[in-house]
Amino acid sequence: MSGELLGDSDVILVAGTRFMVPGFKAKDGQTIIKIDVDQRELDKDHGTTIAINADARAGLGAIGAALRGRCVEDAQCRKGERAAEYRTKLKTFMDDEAPEQMAWVNAVRAATDDDAVVISGMTNIGYWSHLAYEVEEGGEFITSGYFGNLGFSFPTALGAKIAAGDRAVVALCGDGGFMYAPQELATAKQHGINLVVVVFDNGAFGASRWDQEHRYGNREIGTEFFNPDWDTLAAAFGIRSQGVDTPEALKTALREAVALDEPSLIHVTLPVMAPPFQLV
């Protein structure tokens, strides 16, 4: 869908991104304006018409100032129509193709305030949250971007909570990713870093396991593992924990956890499900 929007655009402004849309190449007549602080990114050939070596914030600010008051009303209306069309198409796709995943994402969104900070790890519900979690003004949604780092979300959330103060901070972790740094529960407890860690446990590196099941005749190699008893693990660090297995139960547990003045772990049991990048 993003490729469709790019293909239909006359001018594309790209700021601080690798522009990793599979197979994208500028069409004849398209103007691509690319802003990046790294000259090496500007040197990559995406058919860039205008390359601007600048900090993204400064570059966009300068362009915005230059264009202020020059927008055409019809263009503004059309932009709104295209955005609405895209959101409708995306929502239809997600509701039709991934209703179970959407139920979990919606539970997280319903349980968090608009100013919450959500750190999304490399886990199925994290992937779908990239598309479906609605971030309101004042809120933040943090991912590892193109790096795809397993295990980054919990340690990142610790730092985010220190910076966020009284705002709720929620780390969405897979079971495999969380086990890269479970010892940081001690950090949370010792220093009173009162975040909420949600561990989605499907007993596997789920995206790879789904791929093996559906594309390689269910030939499992190295994707399933033995998990700890999550309540016992949390208790060993003096951390409050709760297990859930439905979206509604997650919503209730998360609402309770973000209201507490202590770190919490929520353990979610769910099956291996398709990630978005294996449905498109």
Q: Look up the CATH number of the domain holding residue 240.
A: 3.40.50.970
Domain that holds residue 179: 97-278
Residue 2's pLDDT is what?
62
Query: In the chain, what is the straight-line distance between the N-terminal and C-terminal CA atoms, in Å?
Result: 10
The answer to whether residue 137 is domain-embedded is: yes
Last residue of a domain, one of 54, 70, 86: 70
Alpha carbons 103 and 89: distance in angstroms, whole number: 18
Tell whether 120 and 60 lie within a shared domain: no
Among 70, 85, 109, residue at a domain's last position:
70
Query: Is 64 a member of any domain?
Result: yes
- Same domain, residue pair 105 and 66: no
pLDDT on residue 201: 97
80 belongs to a structural domain: no
pLDDT of the residue at 152: 95
Looking at the structure, tell me whether residues 249 and 113 fall in a common domain.
yes
Residue 24 confidence (pLDDT):
62
pLDDT of residue 93: 87
Is residue 221 one of the residues assigned to a domain?
yes
Residue 42, domain member (yes or no): yes
99-111 and 124-132 are packed helices; what angle lies between their axes, rounded to 10 degrees? 70
In a domain, 199, yes or no: yes
Question: Residue 141: enclosing H or E segment and its boundaries?
Answer: strand 140-142
Do both 156 and 261 map to the same domain? yes
Same domain for 110 and 65: no
Q: Do residue 153 and residue 19 come from a single domain?
A: no
Which pair of tokens denotes residue 135?
A: 């971030």
Cβ(258)–Cβ(196) under 8 Å?
A: yes
Nearest-Å Rg of the Cα atoms of the chain is: 21
Q: Do residue 194 and residue 124 come from a single domain? A: yes
Query: Quick one: pLDDT at residue 20?
Result: 62
Alpha-carbon separation of residue 208 from 53, 122, 225 (angstroms): 38, 12, 13
Sign of CA dihedral 249, 129, 256, 177: positive
Q: Which residues of the chain have pLDDT under 70?
A: 1-4, 19-25, 46, 71-80, 280
- The token duo for 159 is 């730092």
pLDDT of residue 25: 67
Q: How many structural domains compose the chain?
A: 2
Domain identity same for 149 and 35: no
- Whole-angstrom distance, CA of residue 171 vs CA of residue 265: 10
